């Protein structure tokens, strides 16, 4: 046996894995939504374990503030302003070229979430915002796809595996209603209000806490795929590194039969584009509104459909009026960036032109209206 003939030898010795479990992993397709502190660790562990297809969806670019905890990225990625999904794909191709890693540079919202989830056997939620988390929950219940989610802030973290009642429809992960558990809305019917929960921006985050939460997520995912849910029940794990405490609770029996999502099958987060009442067609509102980037003094503004090469050239020409333009290509994506000074402070503009969408990141302000003004003034 040469050194590359069986890279999963130690893994196949695990009880419940073996050759059959490895085959199941190889045939599986996993969607990782979010490629930050959680998503980088989860994606790497899935690829190293031999999952056949790993699809990574993230809208952001690598920033130097990410490097403390987002393990797939380098200083060079931050300097080049590489989209996180593309940077992760490039790094993971060096880990195991036999795994198909797909990079999607886009924002997941009500208008596209079902499309991204539908072709996968398992969804791993590595997000940092609750609105999208509830959209993914609606997708998981609607499609019958198991959902693994986690989070970390400060010294604390958690991870959970949710098995929706329709899981028997899935090809790789199948189970009956007796094995099913609650969905996210059974446990928390509504997302928290803004300011109600702590964030990494308000209290910080220890990289080790994020790494533990992500490893728990990856562990749940790999066991579901290799061993099936007959061995892995719905569960919630919490930990606090400040006190060294860990706790685990089974979620069997926690399902609310009157839950609007998994009970009555009303998927309001897929239909509702604004939790405060504004609605639109297929998530148009969520797809087009600006987003303040946590801890970055920056705002992201969606610009619409993918750009042709000629359109990218025109954008670069307009940005050149503000300062020196830098263009970098990675996979199917390109970033076009420049920076300049104004009386109100430093400004930067990065246009990320990907195969799925086009987005602008305006640095130097966390005010969406200021960001809109910059985009209108520079790009027209």
Q: What is the DSSP string of 338-380?
A: EEEEETTEEEEEEEEE-SS-EEEEEES---HHHHHHHHHHHH-
Query: What pLDDT is recorded for position 267?
Result: 95
Residue 158 has pLDDT above 80, yes or no: yes
Q: Which domains does the chain have, with CATH numbers?
A: 9-271 (3.40.50.720), 291-379 (3.30.160)
Query: What pLDDT is recorded for position 176?
Result: 78
Query: What pLDDT is recorded for position 285?
Result: 41
In angstroms, what CA-CA distances link 172 with 30, 219, 229?
A: 11, 17, 10
Query: What pLDDT is recorded for position 277?
Result: 39
67-124 confidence digits (pLDDT tens): 999 999 999 999 998 999 999 999 999 999 999 999 999 989 999 999 999 999 999 9
27-51 confidence digits (pLDDT tens): 999 999 999 999 999 999 999 999 9
Query: What pLDDT is recorded for position 229?
Result: 82
Separation between Cα atoms, residue 177 and residue 180, nearest integer Å: 5
Residue 171 has pLDDT above 90, yes or no: no
What is the percentage of the chain residues whose pLDDT exceeds 90?
A: 60
- The strand order across the sheet containing 345-353 reads 291-293, 298-304, 358-363, 345-353, 333-342, 326-330
Please tell me which residue in 117, 200, 322, 338 is annotated as part of the active site.
Answer: 200
Look up residue 236 and give its two tokens.
């919630």
* pTM (2 d.p.): 0.86
Look up residue 332 and give its two tokens.
């199917």
Whether 200 is a known active-site residue: answer yes
293-347 confidence digits (pLDDT tens): 877 888 988 888 888 889 899 999 998 988 899 999 988 889 999 999 888 788 8
């Amino acid at each position: 046996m040469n050194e590359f003939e069986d890279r999963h030898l130690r893994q196949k010795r695990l009880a419940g894995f073996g050759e059959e479990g490895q085959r199941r992993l190889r045939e599986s397709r996993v969607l990782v939504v979010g490629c930050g502190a959680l998503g980088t660790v989860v994606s790497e562990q899935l690829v190293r374990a031999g999952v056949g297809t790993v699809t990574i969806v993230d809208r952001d670019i690598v920033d130097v503030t990410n490097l403390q905890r987002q393990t797939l990225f380098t200083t060079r990625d931050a300097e080049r302003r590489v989209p996180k999904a593309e940077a992760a794909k490039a790094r993971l191709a060096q880990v195991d070229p036999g795994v198909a890693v797909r990079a999607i540079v886009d924002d997941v919202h009500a208008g596209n979430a079902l499309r991204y989830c539908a072709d996968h056997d398992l969804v791993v939620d590595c997000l940092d915002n609750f609105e999208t988390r509830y959209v993914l929950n609606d997708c998981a219940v609607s499609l019958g796809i198991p959902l693994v989610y986690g989070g970390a802030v400060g010294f604390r973290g958690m991870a959970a595996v949710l098995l929706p009642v329709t899981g028997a429809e899935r090809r790789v992960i199948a189970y009956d209603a007796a094995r099913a558990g609650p969905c996210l809305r059974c446990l928390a019917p509504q997302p928290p209000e803004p300011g109600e929960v702590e964030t990494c921006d308000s209290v910080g985050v220890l990289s080790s806490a994020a790494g533990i939460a992500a490893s728990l997520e990856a562990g749940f995912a790999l066991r579901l795929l290799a061993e099936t849910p007959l061995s892995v029940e719905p569960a919630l794990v919490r930990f606090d590194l400040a006190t060294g405490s860990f706790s685990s609770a089974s979620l069997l029996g926690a399902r609310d039969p009157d839950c609007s999502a998994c009970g009555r099958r009303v998927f309001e987060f897929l239909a509702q584009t604004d939790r405060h009442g504004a609605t639109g067609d297929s998530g148009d509102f969520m797809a087009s509104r600006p987003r303040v980037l946590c801890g970055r003094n920056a705002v992201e503004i969606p610009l619409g459909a993918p750009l042709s090469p000629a359109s990218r050239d025109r954008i670069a020409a307009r940005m050149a009026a503000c300062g020196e333009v830098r263009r970098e290509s990675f996979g199917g994506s390109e970033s076009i960036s420049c920076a300049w000074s104004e009386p109100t402070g430093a400004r930067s503009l990065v246009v990320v032109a990907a195969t799925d969408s086009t987005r602008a990141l305006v640095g130097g302000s966390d005010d969406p209206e200021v960001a809109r003004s910059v985009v209108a003034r520079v790009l027209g």
